[in-house]
Chains A and B, each alone.
Chain A
Amino acid sequence: MTDKTMTADEVVSRLASGMTLGIGGWGSRRKPMSLVRALLRTDITDLTLVSYGGPDVGMLVAAGRVRRLVAPFVTLDSIPLEPHYRAARERGAFELTEVDEGMFMWGLRAAANRLPFLPVRAGIGSDVMRVNPGLRTVTSPYEDGETFVAMPALRLDAALVHVNRADRLGNGQYLGPDPYFDDLFCEAADTAYVSCERIVDTAELTKEAPPQSLLVKRLHVTGVVEAPGGAHFTSCAPDHGRDEDFQRLYATTPWAEFSERFLSGDEADYRSAVRTWQEEQG
């Protein structure tokens, strides 16, 4: 059995400029932020990001690492509009493939099922068709003859997700209320990297949690990173909620200043910088 544990820096050493990366979670919820921070420490750029976007997108577009974004939204949830994303979009810093939430899911499902596309009743009549002139439609071959959008597969070079627990083999477990689409991201990707709050023995995964909490299967996983607080400042229920105070700081601080103070060192430096800031707040 292969021990797949590695560090965040080892994960990003396997990524390269120009890749298509899928990032799990949803909005400002269970985002693999420690992997995103590790990515920001590299020179990797020219990325295509595929994400139900939150601060993962905000940070990577602010840092100029993104050539194209595929997303139905970018939000911080409790702060509806992601300020760094907005600024980057308004200065035309990257290309956008804007699709509907359902189309996005069908794209991941198509990739996971090795299909070139899946039909979806969404997009037609909307300007999603205008801003994505490459989108094609498909007509039902049955009596109804309905026309659907043929949502192309969102195949990923790599997926990055964060879960509550994992074992060393890559079996990933979520303990919060929503799996989001993290298993789909892993299945849609050639390689998948799972960070987790805590690595535990395989037997411990189902000691107190039901088997259906085992979201990600090891055959889809390339690397496992133990990253306590790895989703910070996004939520990772039930281990921790969203750090609203810190998120507010992120949203109101100019990117260069935020990046200088919190992202110039490694993950341990990040945590210590966050602690220092929290102490300053009293």
Chain B
Amino acid sequence: MTDVRWTEVSRSEYCVIACAEAWRGAGEILASPMGPIPSVGARLARLTFAPDLLLTDGEAMIVRPDGTPEGWLPYRQHLALVSGGRRHVMMGASQIDRYGNQNISCVGDWARPKRQLLGVRGAPINTLNNPTSYWIPRHSRRVFVEKVDMVCGVGYDRVAEHPGTARFHRIPRVVSDLGVFDFATPDRSMRLASLHPGVTVEQVREATGFELTIPDEVAPTREPTPEELRLIREVIDPADIRRREVAT
């Protein structure tokens, strides 16, 4: 076993830790990570502080961290599980605004888009039924926008107009390559919750297209423990796929 304690923690590893923390205390629910770093994060959470989590293989199986199947979850059951709420998904976002409205459908006017993207996918049903967090590997003004072009995932301002429908709506966190963000403000707009080590408040402000709430004291994203680093580097992601998403 390599002693990993003395090698520098990479930005991609802080991102893994920040994503993993989304599932702390989640209990026996399904973690649905989308993208490499959230996937490494979910498995890390499962192997450490969230041992009851269920993981998917991205297809029809519920698997243990080593890939052993322990359940069947085809798309039709997955959609029912979403409605039942025993799931915390971490999705991507092509655009996100200060209230957590998310867009993965298209850029520009929906009727005649400048750039067609994926489509709304399951974002509307996710956000009304189970906790939905977001992962953004490249924090920029193109992604963190004043107003998204098509609301797919529903944010706090939109949902406030539908209090009866909104009883299960929750956006616990947004993780980017610069920091962690939440909505712990009086008007449920985005707030800087922690900065990844090496990142400045100014950098975040510069890369964000709307005004963020920035507390006087911003904590750094926590350090991984030596055991967590070992799990990331030697067990979960020895091929260093995380670095393809966040290079530093």
Contacts and interface: CB of A to CB of B under 8 A. Distances in A.
A101 B122 CA distance: 5
Contacts of A81: 116-118
* A85, A92, A123, A145, most chain B CB atoms within 10 A: A123
A109 to B, nearest CB: 10
B93 to A, nearest CB: 14
A190 to B, nearest CB: 22
B74 A120 contact: no
B118 A123 contact: no
Contacts of B74: 177-180
Contact of A178 (B60, B129, B152, B165): B60
Contacts of A208: none
A122 interface: yes
A258 B222 CA distance: 51
A101 B79 contact: yes
A117 interface: no
Given A73-B121, A146-B165, A102 B151 contact: no
Interface residues of A, number: 43
B105 A124 contact: no
A144 B121 CA distance: 28
Contacts of A100: 120-125
Interface in B87-135: 105-106, 110-125, 127-129
A147 B83 contact: no
B204 interface: no
A71 interface: yes
Interface stretch (B8-16, B154-162, B179-187, B190-198): B154-162
Interface string B128-156: 11000000000000000000001111100
Contacts of A99: 120
B150 A131 contact: yes
B129 A147 contact: no
Interface in A36-78: 53, 71-75
B166 interface: yes
A123 B79 contact: no
A32 to B, nearest CB: 17
Contacts of A102: 79, 82-83, 122, 124-125
A253 to B, nearest CB: 19
Contacts of A121: 83, 125, 128-129, 165, 168
A124 B106 CA distance: 19
A177 B59 contact: yes
B162 A103 contact: no
B76 interface: yes
A126 B166 contact: no
B165 A103 contact: no
B215 interface: no
Given A26-B75, A181-B75, A86 B116 contact: yes
A101 B165 contact: no
B61 interface: yes
Contact of A131 (B61, B82, B110): B110
A202 to B, nearest CB: 25
Interface in A95-145: 98-103, 105, 120-128, 130-131, 144-145
Contact of A73 (B60, B82, B119): B119
Contact of A124 (B114, B119, B152, B162): B162
A80 interface: yes
B128 A122 contact: yes
A160 B152 CA distance: 29
A122 B127 CA distance: 8
B118 A73 contact: yes
Contacts of B115: 86, 90
Given A90-B115, A102-B79, A103-B124, 5 more contacts: A98-B119, A100-B124, A124-B165, A125-B128, A145-B164
20 contacts: A73-B120, A75-B118, A75-B119, A81-B116, A89-B106, A89-B116, A90-B116, A100-B122, A101-B79, A101-B122, A102-B122, A102-B125, A121-B128, A124-B128, A125-B127, A126-B153, A128-B120, A144-B164, A147-B164, A177-B72
